[in-house]
A and B are shown apart, each in its own frame.
Chain A
Amino acid sequence: MQLRLWIVLLSLVLVAGLASSGATAYFSDGAQNPNNTLATTVWGNTILLSDGFEGEPWDANWDGNGTTLWERNDTKVHSGLWAACATKSKNGNVTTDDLDALSATKIYVSFWYRAENLEAADLLVQLYNGTTYNTWYDITNHSSYQANTWCHFTEAIIDSQYYKSNFRLRFDAQGFEETGETFYLDDVLITMDQ
């Protein structure tokens, strides 16, 4: 008789507990901004491209996939004597030679740039996945962007579709249509972890 009484009492407690937990449920949601990386060193154990446009010819690392209209300019540089430059009359794109990122587990892209009088979508940073070029950033929307000063772009590529033997980085200035629109590019560094 005592055992039955205990079973009944325990059942009542369980039912009351369930009813209680149901009464305090609330709708909820969550979001996450993941994989923020900060470092005191350059990432990537393998350098795919390091170019400040100081060599001869200046576009030696950028002529394997079509010649560019961009020119080399010594009026505004981030370091050294030269920077690559796009203007209304020297627009179009500049594209790296094929970079072997087949064994990459992450690709890091770093470059310095100075943008003058740009409008949205004037300068696109694009990635090549072996088949197509995909726009990665409209530079005017990148968090580093400030007009008329040197800015440092640093991003990691974690999308494996770009881990190809012919990975390419492209700067597309086809949107330059007005006089005064100018983009200076310097100190490009592309590395990868493998």
Chain B
Amino acid sequence: MKKIVIALLAVGVVVSMVLVGAIALFTDSETNPTNSFSTGTIDLAIDPATAMFTVTDMAPGDVEYSGILMTNSGSLALRYAGNTTADGTSTLDEQLDLTIDVVTGNGTDAIWYTADDVVGEANIYGPDGVLSSAYIGDPTQGAQAGDRTLDESGGANDNERLRFKVTLPSSTDNSYQGDSCTVSFVFYAEQTANNP
């Protein structure tokens, strides 16, 4: 009986090998290699990054100009908004007026940020709004009224120049003598792609 079982098993093995040989197929494979994915960047650069105003000895009626170059240094288009961080201990920044214009040329004096600049878009803040509560657009996510857009770095419109005009109104009374304030201008950028 044992011999019969062994014989049957041997026959089974042989039959299996024959069957396996009978269903063999030619095959091939190809690889599409090195598919890569990377994310873009949102990088808003400003120049100067240090204070654009350091003004002393202001008197009623004084006007001070300065400016800032906003550049998209990232690889994705962006929109930005901005506002002022007010001086919490002085009221001078509430008394000072601010006008922000987009300038496209330097006028006749060869200098940006002076009275005769070529203004491309006037009063993106102001005219003569309150310095301490100044804003450009709205940093809330998504496209908001007044937000500024810049193309990706290298694009046709990847930068713009903002002129800041600060005025101490002629109506400023004696209570502001000997006063000073410190403010920061803060800018917020976000992607425009897939972010209506």
Q: List A contacts of B39 (CB < 8 A).
A: 27
Closest chain B CB from A43 CB (angstroms):
6
Interface of A, secondary structure class, is strand
How many Cβ-Cβ contacts under 8 Å join chain A to chain B? 140
From residue A88, how far is it (CB to closest CB) to chain B in Å? 21
User: Is B40 in the interface zone, CB < 8 Å from A?
Assistant: yes
Judged by a CB distance under 8 angstroms, whether B182 is at the interface is: yes
Query: A-facing mask of B49-70, CB < 8 A → 1, else 0?
Result: 1111111111100001111100
B195 touches A36 (CB 8 A): no
A29, A36, A146, A147: the one contacting B51 at CB < 8 Å is: A36
A17-68 contacts to B, CB under 8 A, are 24, 26-43
CA distance A143 to B69 in the complex (A): 12
Closest-CB distance, B146 to chain A (whole angstroms) = 17
Contact with A along B157-168 (1 / 0, CB 8 A): 000000000101
Partner of A32, one of B42, B67, B180, B184: B184
A27-B39, A31-B46, A38-B181 known; A154 vs B190 contact (CB < 8 Å): no
Q: Which residues of A contact B49 (CB under 8 A)?
A: 31-33
- The answer, yes or no, to whether A121 is at the interface (CB within 8 Å) is no
B177 on the A face (CB < 8 A) = yes
Q: A150 interface residue, CB < 8 Å from B?
A: no
Q: If A27-B39, A28-B191 touch, does A35 touch B55 (CB 8 Å cutoff)?
A: no
Would you give the shortest CB distance from A95 to chain B, in whole angstroms?
22
CA distance A155 to B196 in the complex (A): 41
Q: Which of B2-10, B30-38, B108-116, B120-128 contacts A (4 or more CB under 8 A)?
A: B108-116
Please tell me the number of chain A residues within 8 Å of chain B, measured between CB atoms: 28
When chains A and B are docked, how far (Å) is the Cα of A100 from the Cα of B53? 26
How far is B138's CA from A58's CA once the two chains are assembled, in angstroms? 55
Q: B166 touching A31 by the CB < 8 A rule?
A: no
Q: How far is the CA of A42 from the CA of B58 in the complex (A)?
A: 9
Q: Tell whether A166 is near chain B: CB-to-CB under 8 Å.
A: no
Q: How far is the CB of A82 from chain B (nearest CB, A)?
A: 21
A residues within 8 A CB of B78? 29
Which residues in window 76-111 of B have CB below 8 A to A?
Answer: 76, 78, 92-93, 96, 109-111
How far apart are B78's CB and chain A's nearest CB, in angstroms?
7
Q: Which of these, A38, A41, A155, contacts B177 with CB under 8 Å? A: A41
* B21 interface residue per 8 A CB criterion: no
Cβ-based interface call for A156 (8 A): yes
Cβ contacts under 8 Å, B114 to chain A = 146
Q: How far is the CA of A99 from the CA of B184 in the complex (A)?
A: 30
11 pairs, CB–CB < 8 Å, chain A vs chain B: A24-B141, A28-B190, A29-B190, A31-B45, A36-B54, A36-B185, A39-B58, A39-B180, A41-B179, A43-B56, A143-B65
Task: Please name 13 further chain A to chain B contacts, defined as beta carbons within 8 Å, in addition to the given A31-B49, A43-B180, sorted by A numbering.
Answer: A31-B187, A33-B46, A33-B51, A36-B182, A37-B51, A37-B181, A38-B55, A38-B181, A39-B179, A40-B58, A40-B176, A145-B111, A154-B54
